[in-house]
Amino acid sequence: MMKKWIAVFAVMLPALAMAESRVGVIDPIGALQAADNVKSRMSALEKELGADEQRLNSLRQEVGKMQEKMQKEGMTMSSDQQEQMQTEGQQKMIEIQSLQRKLQKRANDAQRELLQEMEPKLQSAVAEVAKKENLDLVVSAQAVIYTKPDLDITEAVTKQLNKMK
């Protein structure tokens, strides 16, 4: 009988320990995306890439018009005209692919730079909020299936990030 109670106590001990712990939950990506610094950097990146994105859209429209023209008038065009249009279309497609790679690389580089800069700040902000709210444990929202809304410290961490420079 005594062994049974010890076994029950041993199973219940972790649950009892957790019952006294204060836990916070954070969406780290959400906290970063809502931070003023990140918003301004992303806005600047969008402006930086804007001209290339407009060029990309323009090229796509040109290729679409060329394809339409080939479908409508292809039978009446000379073989030289058809060949010239195909060559021009291929050149535009190569330019589209090149521009897409350039935009993707720049976006990836900017995201990596921003995360490298912001990760230590995020950790510091989480630690500061955990200290202020007397939390024993902070877990990522992605690792949690359910939480009460009052355990979410994402907004508090974003505010702390905004205070940091």
> In this predicted model, what pLDDT tens digit does every residue of 5-46 receive, in sequence order?
444 444 444 554 555 788 999 999 999 999 999 999 999 999
pTM: 0.68
- Domain range for 141 is 18-163
Is 8 a domain residue? no
Per-residue pLDDT of 89-120, as tens digits, reads 899 999 999 999 999 999 999 999 999 999 99
Q: Domain for residue 139, yes or no?
A: yes
Q: What is the CATH number of the domain that holds 100?
A: 3.30.910.20
Give domain status of residue 2, yes or no. no
In a domain, 9, yes or no: no
- Residue 112, domain member (yes or no): yes
Q: Which two tokens stand for residue 64?
A: 């679409």
Tell whether 114 is covered by a domain: yes
Question: Does residue 61 lie in a domain region?
Answer: yes
Taking alpha carbons only, the member of 150, 163, 158, 153 closest to residue 122 is 158
- The helix-helix angle for 79-132 and 154-163 (nearest 10°) equals 90
Q: How many domains does the chain have?
A: 1
